[in-house]
Chain A
């Protein structure tokens, strides 16, 4: 019983990382119909920015702002940095190519991904870095006999808070309605007076910003970061997006959480080595029976 609860909690934590990254995929796909392969690298970039801020000047940020203040500052810097990078990538690599079709845009996205990944390697070096325990200490607590790290609870709460805010913005505000309208039909939305350029700017700032924040959270949770981790997390998050149903916000959130829990249950009850096989098998089975994902809507065929 204790094991199940602990593993569920671990699964939810990992799942919340996937959800935060998946939101970026889903928003970009919704409006642009583009699989943004560079998205995983925005996440890595955020993680490295946070790392730099925390260890820079012998942990200057932590000593002035306190441990919690340092972490929050790292997340903010990562969000702003990744958001800026996202806007730049959209301007340089996607906007000129987008009108020619979606396949060239896929190649361009892969190119951008390779470029960012190797830039990170050149700037920070190829060896993995660690969020040391001076800047991110552990706070182990015993609740009803469960050993729980306070950091984990905070990460969970914060990511649920961020998802909640995003959900509110997309579903309840006028601006969110504009985003949903452009996801439904870009051209008609533009004819109705919606500023598509602003919408694209917004999703390319917000998606990577959420990804960058998740990057810092992963650093805090696992402590170790490496320049190639973007591929792995990006792939999982993209899987989560498809699992939930691409293009809608709650699909990405729920898909990520389900994927994280599945991964943890798979590694506990099936086998650690085969946990990813288990995850992908579930994905394929879901898609065989629900070809548009768990929460995906059925799209009518157009001639």
Chain B
């Protein structure tokens, strides 16, 4: 019965959204062939980085509703793991992708397990504190590993032997967007799985979820671990693109921007993350003519956006019963 209705829903979605999805994928593939400007392709690459980071935060904030304002810290762990292992031991960068992911995930598990019982704003401040501790520690060059304010530089390009070296803007563009494509497929599978449903249940009503036998602590930790692992991957790609990592890339401000990506797009919505990331990365470029006024306009737009679409630009599609705005529910159910 349940399987049937789900299948039907999936089919309906496919017939409606098929063409749209294909058009989006094709336009992403053709983009660098049509536009030959390296600068714009680079902007699109950073749009990709923000999308990947947004997707990783979306697991924690969007799916489970945990306030995480220190998410850049996980990306920093991934980036520095890559940077240090690559520059000192010469391990290929592609091999380090899973290593970064695991490092960030283990870190998230160790740090989050004692604090996971905190509620709402208390969890929020602890994650801020965690992000700041990571940034300040990196800044202070512990054991001479992180290079202090200058960071670690001289990271290699990703390569498979000499067959394929990812060294140009266009190659990096395809590199990140292929990874995002794979991630999105995995995340959609995850959303429809038992884990995804448990996450959403925890977000909507913690006490009811616990009462119906969901191990709330386990699922919250799982969200942090998976989100951190994905952020670690994003950190790895970021490090290889810039060839340098420094603490100033992982500030509290950046974590706030990630938070905004998820909320501008719509909590728990994967297409929403794309919109939010596009807003964050393209907006300053479009308004470059206004120079010093652009961030001012950006702030004003954020306020106006929330006035007219408080649920985000592309809120998550819900079943008939849950047509109400999820945010109002989330508020009622004691975050």
Query: Which residues of A are in contact with B by a Cβ distance under 8 Å?
Result: 29, 35, 37, 92-93, 96-97, 100-108, 110-119, 121-122, 126, 231, 235, 238-239, 242, 246, 273-274, 276-277, 280-281, 283-284, 287-288, 291-293, 301-303
Contact = CB atoms under 8 A, between A and B. Distances in A.
B122 A100 contact: no
A296 to B, nearest CB: 9
A283 B129 contact: yes
A100 B128 CA distance: 25
Contacts of A126: 292
A301 B334 contact: yes
Interface stretch (B16-24, B95-103, B111-119, B184-192): B111-119
Q: How large is the interface on B (under 10, 10 to 19, 20 to 34, 35 or more residues)?
A: 35 or more
Contacts of A100: 306, 310-311, 325, 327-328
B190 to A, nearest CB: 22
B178 interface: no
B132 interface: yes
A283 B126 contact: yes
A149 B331 CA distance: 49
Contacts of A281: 129, 133
B109 interface: no
A111 B299 contact: yes
B306 A104 contact: yes
Given A100-B310, A100-B325, A303 B302 contact: no
A302 B303 CA distance: 32
A101 to B, nearest CB: 4
A107 B122 contact: no
Given A96-B307, A97-B310, A101-B330, A242 B292 contact: no
Contacts of A246: 121-122
A287 B302 contact: no
Contact of A122 (B117, B259, B263, B292): B292
A112 B129 contact: no
A291 to B, nearest CB: 5
Contacts of B264: 107
Contacts of B256: 37, 110
Given A96-B307, A106-B263, A293-B122, 8 more contacts: A107-B306, A110-B259, A111-B299, A112-B299, A118-B296, A121-B292, A122-B292, A273-B139
Closest 9 A-B residue pairs measured CB to CB? Answer: A111-B302, A115-B299, A114-B299, A100-B310, A280-B129, A104-B310, A101-B327, A118-B296, A111-B303
B140 interface: yes
- The dominant DSSP class at the A interface is helix
B122 A291 contact: yes
Given A100-B325, A100-B327, A103-B327, A115 B303 contact: yes
Contact of B300 (A104, A110, A115, A288): A115
Contacts of A93: 303
19 contacts: A35-B124, A37-B256, A100-B310, A100-B311, A101-B325, A101-B327, A104-B311, A107-B302, A108-B302, A231-B252, A238-B125, A239-B128, A277-B133, A277-B140, A284-B129, A287-B122, A288-B114, A302-B334, A303-B207
B106 interface: no
A92 B304 CA distance: 9
Contacts of A121: 292
Given A97-B306, A235-B252, A103 B263 contact: yes
Contact of A111 (B133, B293, B300): B300
Interface of B: 114-115, 117-119, 121-122, 124-126, 128-130, 132-133, 136-137, 139-140, 207-208, 252-253, 256, 259-260, 263-264, 267, 292-293, 295-296, 298-303, 305-307, 310-311, 325, 327-328, 330-331, 334-335
Contacts of B260: 107, 110
A277 B327 contact: no
Contact of B132 (A35, A105, A114, A276): A276
A238 B125 CA distance: 8
Contacts of A239: 125, 128-129
A242 B133 contact: no
B14 to A, nearest CB: 31
A116 to B, nearest CB: 8
Given A111-B306, A114-B298, A288-B114, A274 B207 contact: no
A113 B126 CA distance: 21
Nearest to B291: A122
Contacts of A302: 334
A118 B122 contact: no
Nearest to B327: A101
Nearest to A105: B306
A93 B300 CA distance: 9
A35 B120 CA distance: 11
Contacts of A235: 128, 132, 252
B222 to A, nearest CB: 20
A33 B263 CA distance: 18
A131 to B, nearest CB: 24
A41 to B, nearest CB: 10
